[in-house]
Amino acid sequence: MNPITQDLYRFVVDNFLFGQADGRLSDETSFLEAGIIDSTGVLELIAFLGERFGIQILDEEIVPENLDSLRRLTFFVERKLAAKPGEAQACR
Partner 1 sequence: MQVESFLENSAARFPDKTALVCGSRHLTYKELDQSANRLAHSLARHGVERDDRVVVYLENSVEAVAAVFGILKAGGVFAVVNPTTKAAKLEYILNNCRATAVLTDRARLETLRACADTPFLRAVWVAGLDAAEADTRAIPLGPVLEPGEGGEHPPRRGIDIDLAALIYTSGSTGRPKGVMLTHHNIVSAATSITTYLENTPDDIILNVLPLSFDYGLYQALMAFLVGGTLVLERSFGYPHAVLQTILRERVTGFPIVPTICAILLQMDLRKYGLPSLRYLTNTAAALPVDHIRRLQESLPHVRIFSMYGLTECKRVSYLPPEQLAVRPGSVGRGMPNEEVFLVDDAGRRLPPGSTGELVVRGSNVMQGYWELPAETDRMLRPGRYPAERLLYTGDLFRSDEEGYLYFLGRKDDIIKTRGEKVSPKEIEEVLHELEAVAEAAVIGVPDPVLGQAIRAVIRVKQGHALSAQQVLSHCARRLEDFMVPKAVEFREELPTTSSGKVAKRELARQSAEGNGFSPAVLRLDAAAECARLEREIRRMVFEELRRKGVVVGLSGGVDSAVVAALASRALGSGRVLGLMMPEAESPPESLTLARAVAAWLGLETREEDISPLLAAAGCYQRRDEAIRTVLPDYGPGCKCKIVMADVVANATYPVFSVVAQFPEGTLARARLTAEAYRAVVAATNFKQRTRKMLEYYYADLLTYAVAGTPNRLEYDQGFFVKNGDGAADLKPIAHLYKTQVYALARHLGVPLEVTQRPPSTDTYPLPQSQEEFFFALPPEKMDLCLYARDHELTPEAVAPAVALSPEQVSRVYRMIDAKRKASRYLHLAPLMPAG
In the complex, the residues that contact partner 1 under the rule CB under 8 A are 32, 35, 38-44, 46-47, 59, 62-65, 67
Q: How far is the CB of 39 from partner 1 (least distance, A)?
A: 4
Q: How far is the CB of 30 from partner 1 (least distance, A)?
A: 11
58 vs 82, which CB is nearer to partner 1?
A: 58
Distance CA(29)–CA(72), nearest Å, equals 10
Cβ atoms < 10 Å from Cβ of 6: 12
Q: How far is the CB of 92 from partner 1 (least distance, A)?
A: 23
60 vs 85, which CB is nearer to partner 1?
A: 60
2 vs 46, which CB is nearer to partner 1?
A: 46
Q: How far is the CB of 53 from partner 1 (least distance, A)?
A: 16
What is the secondary structure of 16-51 as a DSSP string? Answer: HSTT--TT---TT--TTTTT---HHHHHHHHHHHHH
Residues 12, 48 contacting (CB under 8 angstroms): no
How far does the chain reach from its first CA to its final CA, in angstroms?
17
